[in-house]
């Protein structure tokens, strides 16, 4: 009985360590070809739709980060009580697109000078935030932020903090634009922003 309990305990510790590795490292376990980036610039439906179309990005997962509650729900995050922001976690190939380029796209596709707001979306969950996975990413973030600050009249309010935990959002949030292209928010907010982005990328 004791032996079985020890095996179960070791298994739990191993799983927790693996989970921390996925959240805190900027590389995906089991591969040396992909890395992770985590940031939020307003509603994650919109941010996800943009980054899924960046060359070199393998996936963009909508989720929550930057708060203090374990496994928050969308309803809890929307209340503002958990401290989480709507973010996406991007898995990308550094040989095809650099972390610096992803950050440049991030800053260029939302307003980093509005505090806790993007357009009509208001609340701390919509704040501009970058959650770096290691010190190397932090250095790049600071460099890009300083460069981008010169392009704005108002001060950049983007929060820059280490990633402690990323929680994937509920299934119905994933690929929301692709699944609901005619929903009002998708049609009137996401699609124009996406079209503008694709035109700038020369993909329209």
Q: Is the pLDDT of residue 79 over 80?
A: yes
* Boundaries of every domain in the chain: 2-200
Res 200: pLDDT: 86
Over residues 20-25, mean pLDDT: 47
> Alpha-carbon distance 68 to 142, whole Å?
24
Tens-place pLDDT, residues 121-152: 999 999 999 999 999 999 999 999 999 999 99
Predicted confidence band at 6 (pLDDT cuts at 50, 70, 90)? very low
Question: Which listed residue (43, 46, 78, 186) is catalytic?
Answer: 43
φ and ψ at 43, to 5 degrees? Answer: -60, 130
Q: What average pLDDT does the structure give for the chain?
A: 88
Residue 202: pLDDT band (50, 70, 90) is confident
Span 145-179, pLDDT tens digits: 999 999 999 999 999 999 999 999 999 999 999 99
For residues 22 and 71, the answer to whether their CB atoms sit within 8 Å is: no
Active site residue 43: yes
91, 109 Cβ separation under 8 angstroms: no
- The alpha carbon of residue 48 and the mean position of all alpha carbons in its chain are separated, in whole angstroms, by 8
What count of Cα atoms within 13 Å lies in the side-chain half-sphere of residue 51?
38
CATH architecture of the domain formed by 2-200: 2-Layer Sandwich (3.30)
Strands 159-162 and 128-132 come out as parallel
Beta-strand ranges (E) seen in the chain are 35-41, 57-65, 85-92, 117-118, 121-122, 128-132, 159-162, 166-168
């Amino acid at each position: 009985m004791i032996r079985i309990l020890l095996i179960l305990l070791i298994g739990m510790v191993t799983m927790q360590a693996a989970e921390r590795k996925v959240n805190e490292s900027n590389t995906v376990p089991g591969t040396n070809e992909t890395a992770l980036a985590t940031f939020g610039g307003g509603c994650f439906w919109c941010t996800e739709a943009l980054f899924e179309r960046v060359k070199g990005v393998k996936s963009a997962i909508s989720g929550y980060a930057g708060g203090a509650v374990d496994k928050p729900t969308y309803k809890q995050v929307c209340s503002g009580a958990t401290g989480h922001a709507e973010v996406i976690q991007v898995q990308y190939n550094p040989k095809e697109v650099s972390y610096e380029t992803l950050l440049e796209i991030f800053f260029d596709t939302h307003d980093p000078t509005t505090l806790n707001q993007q357009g009509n979306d208001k609340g701390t969950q919509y704040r501009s935030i970058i959650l770096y996975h290691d010190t190397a990413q932090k250095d790049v973030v600071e460099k890009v932020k300083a460069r981008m600050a010169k392009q704005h009249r108002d001060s950049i309010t983007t929060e820059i903090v280490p990633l402690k935990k990323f929680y994937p959002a509920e299934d119905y949030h994933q690929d929301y634009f692709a699944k609901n292209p005619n929903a009002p928010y998708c049609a009137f907010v996401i699609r124009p922003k996406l079209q503008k982005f694709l035109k700038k990328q020369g993909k329209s």
